[in-house]
Structure formats: C-alpha cells, structure tokens
Amino acid sequence: MTSPATAFASADYGRVIAPDAVRIERLLPGPIERVWSYLTEENKRRLWMASGTIGSSEGAAVEHVFRHSGLTTEDDRPPKKYADHAGEVRKHGHVLAWEPPRLLAYSWDEGTDTPSEVRFELSPRGDKVLLIVTHTRIANRGIMTSFSAGWHVHLDLLRDLLEGEQPAAFWSKFAELEQQYDARIPKR
C-alpha cells in the first residue's frame, strides 16, 4: 500500500529559495476569486487551515486559530513533539500586503523572538489558479522543516476541498512529510 505522502508528485514539495525561506505552489480549481475567498474568509479558511480574522487592509490585525486535529474527519493525534498543538493554537500578525484577488502577505507569529512572513500570490492559469506561498524570515532549519510540512498538508487540504475530494488525516500526513522534508532540506 502506498502512503499518502509517498504518492505526491515532486512538484507538490516546497523548495528552499533562500537560507530562511521556502516556497510551495499548488495549481487549484478556479476562478481566482474563489481561491481568494478561501484565503481571506474565515468560514472558508477554517476548513483547510485556521479560523480567525484577517483584516482587509495593510496594517490590519491577523489572528489564526488553529485546530489541526479537527481539520479532517479522522480522530488524528499530533506527533509527541507537537503535543502542545493538539488543541487550539493561536498565531498573530499584521497584514503587509492586501491586493485582492492576487496578493496577500502578513507577519506570522508576532510576539515571539522570531516572527516570520507569509506571502500568497495568485495568478489565473486558464480555468485554474496558481497559488504560490512563500514563507520567509524562518529562524532555523528545524522550523523550516515544520513549516514546509505544515504548508504542504494545509495546501493539499485546500486542493482536496476545492476538488471535492476526501482529505487524508492531518497529523499522520504531517508526520510523514516532516520526515521527508528533513531529508530534502539542506543542512545549514
């Protein structure tokens, strides 16, 4: 039996684009306004990533309320090292760019010593939309490995949702992908 993570096309994997940055892309069913709504509208974003608010202008507050174990129908428990993520986890930031429906960027995890930044770029590709997520200012390789696996799983959930497919369990997929990213991301 092939595991979900080993069945991925190599294009699904994020790639390191700088010592502190990773980029991951997904081709999603359009139109672009539909994908934008899944990034910015809380009732849609909570289905694949997190609830919480994203203000609709530069400088506005961002709050993500993650409930990873509730994203899929399977009762899924986090790996031991992420036990503190089993319940609700909150991340805060501020909008850095708001250009509907093509660009959204915000700071990530403000209030820590190492806040980072996330950028979502959308562009039409026929009846599909290319979504490029770039996460920068990542503090270290371990966090980059975790962020890469996390974005990979979250974007797969988004694609499954938009395509009407049943997603794989979040944490088991994440754990497998984190191991794969650990092997893929160069040691610093």
Question: Is the alpha carbon torsion for 33, 39, 42, 48 positive or negative?
Answer: positive
pLDDT of residue 175: 94
pLDDT of residue 6: 44
Main-chain dihedrals φ then ψ at residue 74, nearest 5 degrees: -75, 145
What ranges make up the beta strands (E) of 59-115? 61-66, 89-99, 103-108
Q: List pLDDT tens digits, range 123-144.
A: 999 999 999 999 999 999 999 9
* The pLDDT of residue 105 is above 80: yes
| Residues sharing a CB contact under 8 Å with residue 137, sequence separation 6 or more, in sequence order | 20, 21, 114, 115, 116, 117
Question: Which position has the higher pLDDT, 98 or 1?
Answer: 98
Q: List pLDDT tens digits, range 148-162.
A: 999 999 999 999 999
Q: List pLDDT tens digits, range 2-46.
A: 344 344 557 799 999 999 999 999 999 999 999 999 999 999 999
DSSP alpha helices (H): ranges in 32-140? Answer: 32-40, 42-45
Contact 68, 79 (CB under 8 A): no
What is 14-184's CATH number? 3.30.530.20
Decide: pTM greater than 0.75. Answer: yes
Beta bridge partners of residue 90, listed in sequence order: 65
Q: Where are the domains of the chain?
A: 14-184
Q: List pLDDT tens digits, range 37-90.
A: 999 999 999 999 999 999 999 999 999 999 998 898 776 788 899 988 888 999
Per-residue pLDDT band for 117 (boundaries 50, 70, 90) equals: very high
